[in-house]
Amino acid sequence: MENQSTVNEFILLGFADIRKLQILHFVVFLSIYLAALMGNVLIILTIAYDHNLQSPMYFFLANLSLVDLCFISTTVPKSMCISLSNNRRISFSGCVSQVFLFVTSASAELSFLTIMAYDRYMAICLPLQYMRIMNLNSCLQMAAASWITALVHAIVQTISTFRLHFCTSNIKQFFCDMSQLWRISCTDTKLNEWLTFAIAVTVDSFCFFLILISYGFIFSAVFKIQSSQGRHKVFSTCTPHLTVFSLFLSTAVFSYFRPQALSSIPVDLLAAFLYVVLPPVMNPIIYGLRNKDIHRATWKMSNKWFHFHWVISNTFPPKSQVFSIKKKTTA
């Protein structure tokens, strides 16, 4: 690329300059990253392990967890290295990789959330046709289309961003964010802005309205159910996805579409932190707590793999066994 002769590396923004605060930032980010890593890996392993979870809904949930792993792994480890080494430099190729992986993860996240909403619509509103339409081939094709679309989107955005010439190497964010790269560019960024706007109007708006329409039909069908138990069952399967989508949408809007008057370095850091870190951490928690099938399968897998049942039974023996031990001791 032409601008490699001008800028060979970039300087990212750290969360603190004081050493104690840098160590604190490293510990906090490490804890958050490990929690997201363990939660999403556990979701993937649970779905792969339990045959009762071999359904389209959980297949797409496993893909969503994989996306969340990529999403948080793109930015957080580099930020931890910056705090630990006090070296805020990132190579040109490293910045290109971050932009590419970040856009890929964000696009795939929205795609899979849209597919999951469509899956819930088919399961609730058209249950008799569900297994015929949402078969294995259809699920694989939709998943492949989501990943391919995300990759193409990322390639286009990455090429259009790094065709620019940059006046400075200082990025006012803790990762290589496209909007921040535009701000340090000496080249006119109108083409980049129009491209992003066109994608947002066409692809993103389509996904957003498809989710709204799906839930409109779902709620309409739920209100026609006479049994309160049936309504509760339907809501219990939709609530986790709706919560995850609301979390992703709200953090994205706050990060990229808030008024310019609310833009400052601390607010930009907070907004990016919420958008990049919060969904990957909260998604496994939301699905783990709200979905009884995931909760049951996780406990079952934990008992088999880590022998929790053996530990609990030996730590807290049954009352009959305790009574017999006390009787022998008394005798």
Q: Summarize the confidence of residues 49-78 as an average pLDDT.
A: 91
* pLDDT band per the 50, 70, 90 thresholds, residue 306: low
What are the structure tokens assigned to 123, written together? 């399961």
- Cα separation, 284 vs 46, in Å, equals 11
Residue 234: partners with Cβ closer than 8 Å, 6 or more residues away: 124, 218, 221, 222, 225
Q: Using an 8 Å Cβ cutoff, are 261 and 244 in contact?
A: no
In this prediction, residue 199 carries a pLDDT of 87
**104, 70 Cβ separation under 8 angstroms:** yes
**Is residue 154 within 8 Å of residue 107, measured between CB atoms?**
yes
The Cα 258–Cα 302 span in angstroms is 43
Mean pLDDT over 180-208 rounds to 88
pLDDT at 69 > cutoff 60: yes
Q: What does the pLDDT average to over 161-174?
A: 89
Distant-in-sequence, close-in-space partners of 59: CB < 8 Å, separation ≥ 6: 47, 139, 143
pTM of the model: 0.85
- Stretch 124-150: mean pLDDT, rounded? 92
Q: How confident is the model at residue 266 (pLDDT cuts 50, 70, 90)?
A: confident
Residue 106: the pLDDT is 93
Q: Which residue has the higher pLDDT, 209 or 232?
A: 209
Average pLDDT, the chain: 84
CA distance 98 to 75: 7
Q: What pLDDT does 4 receive? A: 41
The CATH homologous superfamily to which domain 2-290 belongs is Rhodopsin 7-helix transmembrane proteins (1.20.1070.10)
